[in-house]
């Protein structure tokens, strides 16, 4: 019998008790479900919060050695299980197996990097105005935090939240996407094997609409870290705001790549292709708008179309350039936006349909539109698929205005040899990430990550040296010895 125990509460695995059946499909062969199990009930979500609250005091007070021992052990276990984790990831998310292996390897690196936080997430000693008073700050864990994650980087995103929360001494309720529960379960099994005390991490696998409010509005939850769509993130932020607890949300994007006439056109085309079609365009930082100076628009457009048409498409396990979309809903959304773009007057240059002979998986061709205008929906709304729109400008200021003319502000890139132009772009672009001669996608663990505008609550960055800010209270202490 297949394993249907996807809830991990207080150190025990259990079946979900709601009437929702979570059905996980391999996007390359969706006809036969990969796994199916009942989702968590609202009561189980409350039980998970209670288990975290019960375990939190001891974990809050654990020593740095105790915490980093678990996280270093977990990193080793992730590496030892890299193949099976990668296969699970590709099975439920669809991405090419080499990308899955890379993401799993990154998860191990993330746990190692943040394990060191156990010993280094310090306060400051501050010069005192009074020689008899010692002034310093201390950082303490929030207590219990809820972590809610999407499906597109289903081991990396939970890893950077879990690693930061645990290393700073917090207990956790982890709610993964219903599209990718298998990799979440596997990760939590490894945490258990690494020696994490019971109740410190609790896995609640159920639909957001059933369990979401239970874990975000519960009095015992002291902080919520969310990654996902802007719509869900804004809803949760509003719910959590009324409780006055820390909330962090990293959300959608509509990321521009701006190309100036002096740019290396081949490199810009490579960056556009990697950013638009890597991960089937399903990255929050995906390039969805290629904003190009009119003098080089024709040359760059030809280079992009030629590269897009050369991409291989297929099941993730065959390691193509591009796998399927994650689900039937995402596939349908892609085709809906392709139709909308045509109706709005954009010119379809390549793609736009299913690849020939690939009728069963959730496949869509890499799609490029020219003659896109900034007010079109294809230039404003997040498609979250392999659809790239090309927009043209004649003056640099106009190019920056177009890049900023969206609600989102996550990632951005500029291609130019003119570093004064790059500085101007860095200053004026409304985006949390700026890449100069790079892709809009990709990030380094030791660099902070987060967006602006509708892409983020802008409360605290994730990753990087100060990601612990979100997971800790900072107290200021004035000590006058008797």
Q: Does 41 sit near ligand NAP (CB under 6 A)?
A: no
Q: Which two tokens stand for residue 451?
A: 């967006």
What span, in angstroms and rounded, lies between the C-alpha atoms of 167 and 427? 34
Q: How far is the CB of 342 from ligand NAP (least distance, A)?
A: 23
Q: Which of 165, 284, 305, 413 is catalytic?
A: 284
| SS3 state of residue 227 | strand
Please name which of 255, 242, 157, 253 lies closest in space to residue 454, comparing C-alpha atoms. 253
CA pseudo-torsion sign 429, 434, 440, 445: negative
- Which CA distances in Å does 321 have to 92, 303, 316, 349, 393? 17, 17, 9, 20, 31
Q: How far is the CB of 136 from ligand NAP (least distance, A)?
A: 33
Contact 185, 158 (CB under 8 A): no
Interacting positions 324-343 with ligand NAP (CB under 6 A): none
What span, in angstroms and rounded, lies between the C-alpha atoms of 391 and 301? 10
**Which of 251, 259, 269, 400 is the binder for ligand NAP (CB under 6 A)?**
251
Q: Which residue has the tokens 């984790």?
A: 85
Residue 242 bears catalytic tag: no
Pairing of strands 411-415, 433-436: parallel
Q: Does 141 sit near ligand NAP (CB under 6 A)?
A: no
Interacting positions 398-437 with ligand NAP (CB under 6 A): 410
Contact 382, 408 (CB under 8 A): yes
Please name which of 56, 89, 284 lies closest in space to residue 184, comparing C-alpha atoms. 89
Q: Does 228 sit near ligand NAP (CB under 6 A)?
A: yes
Q: Does 284 sit near ligand NAP (CB under 6 A)?
A: yes
Q: Does 366 sit near ligand NAP (CB under 6 A)?
A: no
Q: Which residue has the tokens 């990308």?
A: 99
Nearer to ligand NAP, 412 or 416 (CB): 412
Q: Does 255 sit near ligand NAP (CB under 6 A)?
A: no
**Which of 151, 277, 362, 471 is the binder for ligand NAP (CB under 6 A)?**
151
Contact 413, 257 (CB under 8 A): yes
Q: Does 43 sit near ligand NAP (CB under 6 A)?
A: no
Q: Does 253 sit near ligand NAP (CB under 6 A)?
A: yes
Nearer to ligand NAP, 215 or 305 (CB): 215
Q: Does 444 sit near ligand NAP (CB under 6 A)?
A: no
Nearer to ligand NAP, 315 or 385 (CB): 385
Q: Does 67 sit near ligand NAP (CB under 6 A)?
A: no
Nearer to ligand NAP, 301 or 457 (CB): 457
Q: How far is the CB of 305 from ligand NAP (least distance, A)?
A: 25
Nearer to ligand NAP, 87 or 382 (CB): 382
**Which of 9, 52, 155, 236 is the binder for ligand NAP (CB under 6 A)?**
236
Nearer to ligand NAP, 99 or 178 (CB): 178
| SS3 state of residue 354 | coil
Q: Does 384 sit near ligand NAP (CB under 6 A)?
A: yes
Q: Does 27 sit near ligand NAP (CB under 6 A)?
A: no
Contact 137, 476 (CB under 8 A): yes
Please name which of 243, 168, 154, 210 lies closest in space to residue 16, comparing C-alpha atoms. 210
Stretch that binds ligand NAP, among 96-104, 176-184, 266-274, 345-353 (CB under 6 A): 176-184
C-beta neighbour count of 344 within 10 angstroms: 16
Nearer to ligand NAP, 305 or 433 (CB): 433
Contact 155, 181 (CB under 8 A): no
Torsion of CA 376, 381, 384, 387, to 10 degrees: 10
What span, in angstroms and rounded, lies between the C-alpha atoms of 105 and 370? 37
Q: How far is the CB of 231 from ligand NAP (least distance, A)?
A: 6
End-to-end CA distance of the chain: 68
Interacting positions 182-221 with ligand NAP (CB under 6 A): 207-209, 212, 216
Stretch that binds ligand NAP, among 59-67, 244-252, 297-305, 366-374 (CB under 6 A): 244-252
Name the residues annotated as catalytic: 284
Q: Applying CB under 6 A, which residues contact ligand NAP?
A: 148-152, 175-179, 207-209, 212, 216, 227-229, 232, 235-236, 250-253, 284, 382, 384, 410, 451, 455
């Amino acid at each position: 019998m297949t394993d249907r125990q996807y809830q991990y509460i207080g150190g025990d695995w259990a079946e979900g008790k709601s009437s929702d059946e979570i059905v996980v499909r391999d996007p390359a062969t969706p006809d036969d479900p990969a796994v199916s199990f009942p989702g968590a009930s609202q009561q189980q979500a409350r039980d998970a919060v209670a288990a975290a609250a019960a375990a939190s005091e001891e974990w809050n007070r654990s020593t740095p050695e105790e915490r980093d021992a678990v996280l270093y052990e977990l990193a080793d276990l992730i590496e030892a299980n890299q193949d099976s984790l990668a296969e699970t990831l590709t099975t439920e998310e669809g991405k090419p197996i080499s990308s899955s292996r890379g993401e799993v390897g990154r998860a191990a690196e993330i746990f190692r990097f943040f394990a060191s936080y156990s010993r280094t997430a310090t306060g400051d000693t501050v010069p005192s105005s009074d020689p008899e008073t010692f002034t310093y700050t201390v950082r303490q864990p929030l207590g219990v935090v809820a972590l809610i994650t999407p499906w597109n980087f289903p081991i990396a995103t939970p890893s950077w939240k879990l690693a930061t929360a645990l290393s700073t001494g917090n207990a956790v309720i982890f709610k993964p996407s219903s599209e990718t529960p298998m990799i979440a379960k596997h990760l939590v099994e490894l945490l258990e094997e690494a020696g994490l005390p019971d109740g410190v991490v609790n896995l609640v696998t159920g639909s957001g609409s059933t369990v979401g409010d239970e874990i975000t509005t519960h009095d015992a939850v002291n902080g919520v870290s969310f990654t996902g769509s802007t719509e869900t993130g804004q809803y949760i932020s509003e719910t959590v705001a009324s409780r006055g607890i820390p909330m962090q949300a990293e959300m959608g994007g509509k990321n521009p790549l701006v190309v100036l006439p002096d740019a290396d056109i081949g490199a810009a085309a490579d960056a556009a292709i990697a950013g638009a079609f890597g991960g089937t365009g399903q990255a929050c930082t995906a390039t969805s708008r290629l904003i190009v100076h009119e003098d080089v628009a024709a040359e760059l457009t030809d280079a992009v179309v030629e590269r897009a048409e050369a991409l291989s498409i297929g099941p993730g396990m065959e390691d193509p350039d591009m796998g399927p979309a994650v689900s039937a809903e995402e596939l349908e959304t892609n085709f809906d936006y392709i139709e909308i773009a045509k109706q709005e007057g954009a010119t379809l240059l390549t793609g736009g349909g299913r690849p020939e002979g690939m009728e069963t998986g959730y496949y869509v061709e890499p799609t490029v539109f020219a003659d896109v205008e900034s007010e079109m929906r294809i230039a404003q709304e997040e498609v979250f698929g392999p659809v790239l729109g090309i927009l043209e400008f004649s003056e640099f200021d106009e190019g920056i205005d177009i890049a900023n003319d969206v609600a989102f502000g996550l990632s951005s890139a500029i291609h130019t040899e003119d570093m004064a132009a790059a500085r101007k772009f860095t200053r004026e672009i409304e985006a949390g990430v700026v890449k100069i001669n790079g892709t809009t996608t990709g990030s380094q663990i030791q660099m902070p990550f987060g967006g602006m505008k509708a892409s983020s609550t802008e409360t605290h960055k994730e990753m990087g040296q100060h990601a612990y800010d979100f997971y800790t209270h900072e107290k200021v202490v004035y000590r006058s010895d008797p």
